[in-house]
Amino acid sequence: MAQFSRLQAFVCVAFVFFTAPVFAAQDGCSSQLYRGTAPAIQTEALAGQTHPICFSEIAVLYSGISRTPLWSAEHLTPARIERARSLPRLRSNAFHEESRVPGEERSELSDYRRSGFDRGHMAPNGDMSTPVAQEESFSLANMIPQDPCNNEVLWEGIESAVRDVALSGDEVFVVTGPAFLGADLQSLKGRVLVPTHIYKAIYVPSRNAAAAYFAPNDDSQNWETLSIADLETRVGIDVFPQLDGKVRRHAMILPAPTPHFGCRLQTSEASQQRSSQGR
């Protein structure tokens, strides 16, 4: 196993980075990224027609091929989450098309109409600490077609668990995105690709520890823990290029998702095992 890891590490180093989206220093997006470094796309096909988009509290890489983000990055601090929680309880927002994406590559509200899929936030609005950032998070550039039970139960619970890490006093770097695995995919209106899986990677600098939640985009409520290195192998994106090899290969124990209630409360054996280990 150790030999295999060493081999993997060697192969990773040999990869070429196909895109390194550059966020201008003045737009503030580099502050959402660990050491100001954007995730590195390592699969050539993923790198085509990509557009970096900088929101006030989210850095996004949008794909005009899938018409979804490939990743949405956020830097959560205890102060940010406290501010987010002190916003008025009642808020009105609007899901909206992203004007910064070229017309033909832009996902539209009509793509999702009567699709049976939720518009699932990658960076959740619950992490946004100002009214402007809240509204920005409703851009379709931050959305994927997400199974409703996944979005409304499991994923909601994962988002809440990650916020709790920040609320307990640790800053957290978060990268969330879709995975498109297999020979065939589903597509809304032949335009917006439906991800097969969803990941949320976290790095907690105070513990120098990282891992990713990885879940199928379905109603099973199943999820697994991946190391950052394993996530890179599955998804083709190095979400935290600045982490050293040991941290990348060792998955921290992730806090158990804290969903509000279940559509289907079946959990995978692996998930149950992790839950019983506690936080």
Partner 1 sequence: MNFAPFKNESDAVTLGDLKIENREDQIAIYGRLTLTRDRAGLEAAKALKELFGKIVNELENGPDLPIKVAAAEPPKKVKNPFGQA
Secondary structure of residue 247 in the 3-state scheme: helix
Secondary structure of residue 112 in the 3-state scheme: helix
Q: How far is the CB of 89 from partner 1 (least distance, A)?
A: 5
8: CB partners within 8 A, 6+ apart:
229, 233, 249
User: Among 31, 99, 186, 272, which residue interacts with partner 1 (rule: CB under 8 A)?
Assistant: 186
Where does this chain touch partner 1 (CB under 8 A) — which range of 29-37, 72-80, 188-196, 218-226? Answer: 188-196
Between CA 120 and CA 45 the distance in angstroms is: 23
DSSP secondary structure letter of residue 253: P
DSSP secondary structure letter of residue 18: -
- Spell out, one character per residue from 140 to 159, where the chain touches partner 1: x when CB under 8 A holds, - when not: -----x--x---xx--x---
Q: How far is the CB of 127 from partner 1 (least distance, A)?
A: 13
Nearer to partner 1, 23 or 236 (CB): 236
For the record, the structure tokens of 103 come out as 């017309």
Does 83 interact with partner 1 (rule: CB under 8 A)?
no
266: CB partners within 8 A, 6+ apart:
220, 221, 222
Q: How far is the CB of 26 from partner 1 (least distance, A)?
A: 30
Between CA 236 and CA 179 the distance in angstroms is: 9
Q: How far is the CB of 13 from partner 1 (least distance, A)?
A: 20
User: Among 21, 39, 236, 257, which residue interacts with partner 1 (rule: CB under 8 A)?
Assistant: 236
Site for partner 1 in 48-67 (CB under 8 A): 65-66
Does 109 interact with partner 1 (rule: CB under 8 A)?
yes
Does 115 interact with partner 1 (rule: CB under 8 A)?
yes
Dihedral of CA atoms 107, 183, 263, 215 in degrees, nearest 10, equals -90
Between CA 73 and CA 94 the distance in angstroms is: 21
Q: Looking at this protein, which amino acid is placed at residue 274? A: R
Beta strands (DSSP E) in 17-63 are: 40-41, 50-54, 59-63
Does 43 interact with partner 1 (rule: CB under 8 A)?
yes
Q: How far is the CB of 205 from partner 1 (least distance, A)?
A: 27
**Could you give phi then psi for residue 106, rounded to 5 degrees?**
-85, 130
Does 11 interact with partner 1 (rule: CB under 8 A)?
no
Q: How far is the CB of 155 from partner 1 (least distance, A)?
A: 11
Q: Interface with partner 1 by CB under 8 A: which residues?
A: 43, 45-46, 65-66, 89-96, 109-110, 112-119, 125-126, 138, 145, 148, 152-153, 156, 180-190, 193-194, 236, 260-261
